[in-house]
């Protein structure tokens, strides 16, 4: 293993192959400051993420409201269908017996007065 390392060192040497352009770090601070100063943050750019967030919440609220309305309609329809089903299973004698025996003595007295 050491022989391979020695051969690589002899072939390529021990120097750093990367270089920095001349005068790069002397102008680095002034270049960064000029780029920062040139970029102005506008009110529109500052408020854009907040507007997206508000629009998302409004959209979620509206979609939830639509689904809730559909759920309520289905619930009301199901109740009506269940009542119609029950009424279709009963005949007149069963209904008469139900109303006759479900009336209490107070109901009878109220009807007679």
CA distance 78 to 90: 19
CA distance 102 to 66: 41
CA distance 1 to 3: 5
- pTM for the structure as a whole: 0.42
Averaged pLDDT score across all residues of the chain: 84
Does the pLDDT of residue 107 top 80, yes or no? no
Q: What are phi and psi of 19, to 5 degrees?
A: -130, 155
pLDDT of residue 106: 58
Give me the mean pLDDT over the 97-109 stretch: 70
Token reading at 23: 């005068």
Q: Render pLDDT for 10-46 as a digit per residue (tens, 0 to 9).
A: 888 777 778 888 888 888 888 888 888 766 778 898 9
Does the pLDDT of residue 1 top 80, yes or no? no
State the pLDDT confidence band at 113, using cuts at 50, 70 and 90. low
Q: Render pLDDT for 49-83 as a digit per residue (tens, 0 to 9).
A: 999 999 999 999 999 999 999 999 999 899 888 88
């Amino acid at each position: 293993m050491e022989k391979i390392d020695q051969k690589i060192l002899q072939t390529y040497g021990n120097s750093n192959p990367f270089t920095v352009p001349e005068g790069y770090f002397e102008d680095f601070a002034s270049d960064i400051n000029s780029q920062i100063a040139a970029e102005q943050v506008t009110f529109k750019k500052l408020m854009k993420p907040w507007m997206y967030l508000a629009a998302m919440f409004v959209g979620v609220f509206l979609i939830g409201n639509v689904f809730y309305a559909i759920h309520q309609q289905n619930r009301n329809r199901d109740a009506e269908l269940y009542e119609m089903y029950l009424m279709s299973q009963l005949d007149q004698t069963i209904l008469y017996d139900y109303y006759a025996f479900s009336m209490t003595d107070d109901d009878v007295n109220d009807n007679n007065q």
